Chain A
């Protein structure tokens, strides 16, 4: 036990100051790493502060000192026992061309599941609209889709002046923010063990299937492809990736067949979720610009073949990017922990 508290504090103060300085510098510069000697010293200081705290706990009359020491030990504990990859300087280029597509591929099965759910939803929507055309108002809650497709095509193609004039930018901004919100929500609903994500993906599929079927049955396939492909070829995969993130979250919560604890599972996917949702955000910015400035113009202003070709090229590039970008020479995709150990 401590017999003379004042002497104890006086003799330990310099060690506390020293560990405080190390902690300050570590916290100020995230990318800083300690040399072996520094790490050894830091560990010694941490153990010394820990034992000081243990001694002080039998001496409750110095709440100020105890609180200070407790805070010091807590901070040092966070540094000493942190085993996750330390944040290094962020490189947007590396993140976009390597981290994002690699993360996407690592969870390819979740993406495939998102695609399947959307396809099932589309089939349902398509079937519903073809068997029961009256269900249009329920399946497609958008006013501009309520009229007969041929009427809309005739109206769009007969416009004499630029109908988007004066609100292209705000429309684009509205699309970007709305779609990003929906994507974030799709991912966040993964917290319902993935159920909410599945429902949202299915619902999106229903709307998509119903619209496509409606226009195809009316013989307006060319208009449809020209209207949807330029932005849809990016926007729909983006929503699917958000669904992928939601399903990853749901899977981590369920954790069936995994020997890891729930906390560990959640911890291990956190970086991937952030990467995917930021990627989705970027894709949606592009889709928003294309939808407002390009998709809304039809023949005779823009030939459908050009719009369809543009959409297909986008889709091909996106597929190539997600499938190939950031692959190492052997073509092997690194798993999360492998990547971490390589960095370390």
Chain B
């Protein structure tokens, strides 16, 4: 069966555990490469300007050094930075990209060298056309160099917590005063429903006003049926604010929840299965 192109690579370990990696597309990679190219140009032009300013060497030797320097920097930049920063160049760091082994194994030096030397083919005929097309058509968004080296380029997952912080920025959450009800909510709301509520909040600005009211009314009434917060906690809350409080309580990280609710636990207690 032909496997479909996807932007996520799921690696399943023999232990039956799977973890996922988000594949980087050609556009982001192209921008990262542009940054890298700027770095290479900056380094070589600074060094050659320095050489000519100092004037310590004859014109011939200085020219030879510039030629060799440009060559070595352009070839070794990708290899050395990806080796030193475990799969990242400056451009990749900036765009939160990383080269990893296709099977999730440790990235080998030879893999880094091959993917960087094969740029010669990927860059053909101009502006990485071959590599770009290869990225678009291969299932794991690999250019030819990646294909030969068994590597993929992944991007870091956008932080979900950041989104929640944006939703609840500076807002008082009256549900925090009722940790036992928050706990019940966290236990009773299935993952899919929580995700729907989060998505609704993230996209709320793009909704039609009537649809927005109707959507949040439905979600809020569903949450109310699962955990009934006392009236003083919900007094004056619109449906949307209710859902916002609920989502923040559901997704809020453990540290914040515990500090806010001032719950104390036996840290050495074992888990109950």
Contacts and interface: CB of A to CB of B under 8 A. Distances in A.
B14 to A, nearest CB: 7
A74 B120 contact: no
Contacts of A172: 64
Contact of B110 (A10, A167, A274): A274
B11 interface: yes
Interface stretch (B30-38, B143-151, B224-232, B237-245): B143-151
B55 to A, nearest CB: 16
Contacts of B16: 54
A10 B60 contact: no
Contact of B118 (A4, A84, A191): A191
A263 B195 CA distance: 37
Contacts of B101: 78
Contacts, number: 174
B186 interface: yes
A188 B120 contact: yes
B73 to A, nearest CB: 11
Interface string A151-176: 00000000000000011111011101
A1 B106 contact: no
A38 interface: no
B178 interface: no
B213 to A, nearest CB: 26
Interface in A235-272: 249, 253, 263, 266-267, 270-271
A6 B254 contact: yes
A273 B117 CA distance: 10
Nearest to B21: A74
Interface stretch (A57-65, A107-115, A202-210, A222-230): A57-65
Nearest to A192: B121
A64 B150 CA distance: 29
Interface string A190-214: 0110001000000000000000000
A189 B186 contact: no
Given A169-B60, A169-B61, A188-B121, A73 B114 contact: no
A196 B71 CA distance: 23
Given A10-B267, A64-B161, A169-B61, A177 B71 contact: yes
Contacts of A343: none
A78 B63 CA distance: 45
Interface string B18-40: 01110000000000000000000
A313 interface: no
Main secondary structure of the interface of A (DSSP, over half): helix
Interface in A1-29: 1-12, 27
Nearest to B86: A27
A184 B269 contact: no
A67 interface: yes
Contacts of A168: 60
Interface string B121-153: 100000000000000000000001001111000
B111 interface: yes
20 contacts: A7-B271, A10-B267, A27-B86, A63-B160, A65-B254, A67-B157, A74-B11, A74-B19, A78-B106, A81-B14, A84-B105, A87-B108, A166-B58, A166-B60, A169-B60, A176-B71, A184-B75, A188-B119, A266-B150, A277-B117
Given A81-B103, A173-B65, A173-B68, 7 more contacts: A9-B254, A61-B194, A167-B63, A176-B71, A177-B68, A187-B117, A274-B114
